[in-house]
Amino acid sequence: MLEPADAAEVIDFWRGLGLPGVYDVHTHFLPRNIETRVWAQFDVAGPKIGREWPIRYRGSEQDRVATLRSLGVRRFSSLPYAHKPGIAGYLNDWARDFSERVPECLWSATFYPEPEASAYVDKLVADGVEVFKVHVQVGEFHLDDPVLDAVWGTLADAGTPVVIHAGGAPVGNDYTGPEPLRRVLQRHPRLTAVVAHLGAPDYLAFCELADRYERVHLDTTMVFTDFWEATYPAGLTDRLRDLQGKVLLGSDFPTIPYPYAHQLEGLTRLDLGDDWLRDVCWRNGHRLFGAGR
């Protein structure tokens, strides 16, 4: 594996902040058969992708893990997401094995609104799973589906974080937007949720949820890169300054169309200060998920 061209730039970034590396809560590793299908959707700019989206970091699983290590990404995730009933168990078994093989990876899991969800989520939480991922744009389900009420209750009681792609970017549908998550939080206000992509494009509405609910966080995945948006709503930077302790670095590695360093450049351009960057790129993730095994 060749060292990525931006390795020195990424290393200079975190060393310049006095950090031991970066803590990336939003990366993806999937079983090869599933990953191949996901990547094919990016390659053809499928209906849930909506635009040309060349994948920057292809290669074997081993090569991609080595790339993250060479960049100084000390902790990352696999974040499988179930897109239909009956597949969560397969994804969860694979992700558990992956986290055992790759100690830097958060033990990740997923669920889907299906009758058995409560039982397998209860078991995973009892066993010590570190993070869940759900993706309503891809899975096409309502976060507040009654079948999931017991699941949300379990997660809220345990404090186990769940990364939720609830926003409408890149392509919205009837299941995306802030309102379904708002309804879940009204029933389960202690839920530890991490809103992917800052909830794009409904940034301010999701910031409001993070401000209102103690355990709601936001991740920066792809936001403030040249690929993502030309403009952002007035006041967003101020909200992110106020939410400093609740914003987490995410990248979407490996399915990003630019070098890893570009996400860090975008955050730096916000001019929110080194202490804000230290919290976002290391301390908040460390505080929420821990130092690892």
Find the domain containing 29 and state its range.
7-289
State residue 292's pLDDT score. 64
pLDDT at 229 (0 to 100): 81
232-241 long-range Cβ contacts below 8 angstroms, 24+ apart: 232/203, 233/203, 233/204, 235/204, 236/203, 236/204, 236/207, 237/270, 237/272, 239/203, 239/204, 239/207, 239/211, 240/207, 240/270, 240/272, 240/276, 241/272, 241/276
* 122 located within any domain: yes
Q: What is the pLDDT of residue 89?
A: 98
Q: What angle do CA 17, 22, 23 make, to 5 degrees?
A: 135
CATH assignment of the domain containing 163: 3.20.20.140
pLDDT score for 230 = 78
32 domain residue, yes or no = yes
**pLDDT for residue 260:** 97
Q: In the chain, which stretches have pLDDT less than 50?
A: none
Q: What is the pLDDT of residue 46?
A: 85
Residue 277 is predicted with a pLDDT of 98
Under a CB-based contact definition with an 8 Å cutoff, are residues 188 and 152 in contact? Answer: yes
Question: What is residue 4's predicted lDDT score, i.e. its pLDDT?
Answer: 78
Query: Does residue 224 belong to any structural domain of this protein?
Result: yes
pLDDT at 231: 87
Does 1 fall in a domain? no
Split into its structural domains, the chain has a count of 1
Residue 2 inside a domain? The answer is: no
